[in-house]
Amino acid sequence: MEHHGWISLLPPLTAIVLALTTRRILISLFVGVVLGALLVRDGYPIAAGYTLVVEYLGGNLLNVDKLKAFAFTLSMGAMVGLITVTGGMRGLVERVLPWAKSRRGGQVLISLLGLAIFFDDYANMLLLGGTTRPLADRLKISREKLAFLIDSTAAPVAGLALVSTWVAVEIDYIGEGIGGLPAGFQLEGIELFLASIPFRFYPLWAILFVFLISGFERDFGPMLTAERKCLDEESSNDLLFAAPQEEAGVSSHWLNAALPILTTVAVVTWWLYYSGMQKVTADELEPTWANIFGNAGSYDALIYGALAGNAIALLMIPPQQVVPVATLLWGMFKGALAMTPALAILWLSGALAATTSGGDAGLGTGLYLAELTSGSIPLWLLPTVTFLVAAAMAFSTGTSWGTMGIVMPLAIPLTYNLMLDNGVSLETSPLLAAVVGTVLAGAIFGDHCSPLSDTTILSSQACGCNHIAHVNTQMPYAMTVGVASIVCGTLPVALGASVWVCHAVGAATLIAVVFFLGKRPSLK
């Protein structure tokens, strides 16, 4: 596959700069897509127009997995709308308030819930975003903080979990990298996957940072400003369509919200197991948890779970006669409608990702970035360089999975050959596992900083937060953890430091940052 050199960076960088300066994400994405079409077709307007409409915009809408993600998003919005107008959401909030009587308690509770929904990042964000929003509003936790808490416990948790929709993808990419090694190489993809977990400094420390910020109730930078504005009754709620509101005088019962939500979680988990087991049996694979959940039909599971949650709500709520059926259906419609801006952003971000892909219709942005670092790299810099390349690629393309798929097959053979050239033992050195871990970690880091990322988009929309406000407030926190991951993680571990010493030093560093830079929003 070919790339177009430095001009392949222009579409994503244009979209990112415009989004951050104008705060108009849809227009910014569209401009980036149009620029990409013009560049890939050498400026010919007719050919560029065809590529724009048919291959980028139209092709993205015909992607089956994308349509399933849209369906799940709309179904979750409808369920949140339904249980809101019928008072179930208020009842659930009142039920958990004894465990979250303060802003600190609320933030810790939301973070713990983020760990509980570990099997899929989309399910995590869309389940928790709508259901915890009333609790956050009650406790005066800003929408920016809510989006940060949920976004930072979505991909990091799913990427690390041994039972999740991410695991097979990650193992498959590692396997592709191993495929480029000599036939005598002994390790399997699952072995390198497990060995890489301690070296994934960014996702591990991002989760730690969430609990430090929540538990100590300290913030800094734009997040501190957002929290203080929230305490002063100013909100960043910027949904294009207003979220449904509870009907006046409705009696609330927490089961009207809890049962549909638990049904969704149960059906998603069951379908992941069922479909994964079918695939494992058909392919004659070992029925391990990683293989079962990693080969599951994740998008189907999400859709069936959301539909089951809606069905339970529609069966149990109308007989209670808490609201007229017309009001209930209107609440579902408004809940789904509130998610349509997220769908538009996902559509255009997917189209922009197509401009950066390889092949005839793409500019090969990832290939170009990978080629920049494929020369001679000092061995002690390799984990750091792969972390930064993966982060830059995810930031510019908005896709962590796409980044892993491009970087991993290049990083593993490169590391293997450099280790052999430098006389480093593959049996005693953890460097190969460290590089694998930094690829997976860097992809999530770049994803967290990018306004083009699907997870960043969904978390902001699910939480009712202005998308660019979410990016601006989350980025300093992500950068803090990212810098710590390099200074206390990738650099020292490549120089021979124990990975566990790195974790201890990294944790102490983040604690110091929160204490010395952070301030309590309530204290001006």
Note down pLDDT in tens along the chain; length 524 residues: 567 788 888 887 888 788 767 767 778 889 989 999 999 888 889 998 998 998 888 887 887 877 887 887 788 778 878 887 877 766 776 676 677 778 998 899 899 888 877 766 776 787 788 778 888 888 899 999 999 999 999 889 888 876 566 776 777 778 777 776 666 666 777 778 888 999 999 999 999 999 999 999 999 999 999 999 988 875 555 554 555 554 555 556 778 878 888 888 888 889 988 988 998 888 888 887 767 876 777 778 878 888 998 899 889 888 887 778 888 888 888 888 877 776 787 688 778 778 877 667 788 776 676 676 555 678 889 999 999 988 988 888 777 877 787 778 778 877 887 787 778 777 778 889 999 999 999 999 999 998 888 888 888 888 888 888 999 999 999 999 999 999 999 999 999 899 999 999 999 999 999 999 999 987 65
Q: So what's the pLDDT on residue 184?
A: 65
Angle between helices 25-40 and 340-356 (to 10 degrees): 20
Domain residue extents for the chain:
5-232+254-517
pTM metric for this prediction: 0.73
Q: So what's the pLDDT on residue 237?
A: 57
Q: So what's the pLDDT on residue 475?
A: 94
Beta-carbon neighbour count of residue 49 at 10 Å? 14
Cβ(352)–Cβ(33) below 8 Å: yes
Q: So what's the pLDDT on residue 374?
A: 57
Give the separation between CA 438 and CA 464, rounded to whole angstroms: 32
- The alpha carbon of 389 is separated from its chain's Cα centroid by a whole number of angstroms, namely 18
Q: So what's the pLDDT on residue 170?
A: 79
Q: So what's the pLDDT on residue 499?
A: 94
| Contacts within 8 Å (CB) and 24+ apart, 387-390 | 387/202, 387/438, 387/439, 387/441, 387/442, 387/445, 387/485, 387/486, 387/490, 388/442, 388/486, 389/442, 390/438, 390/439, 390/440, 390/441, 390/442, 390/443, 390/445, 390/446
Q: So what's the pLDDT on residue 367?
A: 67
**Dihedral angle over CA of 227, 231, 232, 233, nearest 10:** 100
Nearest to 131 by CA among 456, 464, 457: 464
Q: So what's the pLDDT on residue 23?
A: 66
Cβ(473)–Cβ(144) below 8 Å: yes
- CA dihedral (71, 75, 81, 82) positive or negative: positive
